[in-house]
Structure 1
Amino acid sequence: MAHKVIFNLPKRELGREDIEFVVERDGKRFGTLLVSKGAIEWRPTNKVYRRKLSWTRFDQLMRESGRPV
């Protein structure tokens, strides 16, 4: 199952405006990944909430659960 990722970069320094990655699976929107200076957030499609991780917690999670490549 391949994912398609589309993104828009802001025209200014990262911080005030997130970088937004739109992720699609099988031609349908799967969710949106938001990246800022302070954190990373995942917003699933058709959900009101977001899931937020600090960069420190993201690093820890990737070290513990990520697959080495």
Structure 2
Amino acid sequence: MAHKVIFHLPRRELGREDIEFVVEQDGKRFGTLLVSKGAIEWRPTNKVYRRKLSWTKFDQLMRTIGLRV
């Protein structure tokens, strides 16, 4: 199950404007990952809500359940 990731970078220092990563699976949009100075957010396709983690919480999550590589 390969994913295709497309991203758009803002033309200024990362701050209020997020970096957006569009993730596709089997040629269809799977979701969008939004990265900002304050947090990381996941927006699933066809959903109104986003899931948000602070960088501290993201670090804790990755250390707890992320696979070591």
Q: Fold conserved (TM > 0.5)?
A: yes
The structure 1 segments of at least 4 consecutive aligned residues displaced by more than 4 Å after TM superposition are none
Give the TM-score normalised by structure 2: 0.99
Secondary structure of 1:43 counterpart: strand
Calculate the TM-score normalised by the size of structure 1.
Answer: 0.99
SS at match of 1:23: strand
Opposite residue 55 of structure 1, the aligned amino acid is: W
Which residue identity lines up with residue 38 of structure 1 in the other structure?
G
Q: How many residues align?
A: 69
Structure 1 SS opposite 2:22: strand
Consecutive unaligned residues in structure 2, runs of 5 or more? none
Matched ranges for 1:1-69 at <5 A: 1-69=1-69
User: What percentage of aligned pairs have identical amino acids?
Assistant: 88
Query: What's the RMSD between the two structures over aligned residues?
Result: 0.3
**3-state SS of the aligned residue for 1:15?**
coil
1:16 and 1:64 mapped to 2: Cα distance? Answer: 29
Unpaired runs of at least 5, structure 1: none
* Amino acid in the other structure paired with 1:35: V
Distance in 2, matches of 1:66 and 1:57, equals 13
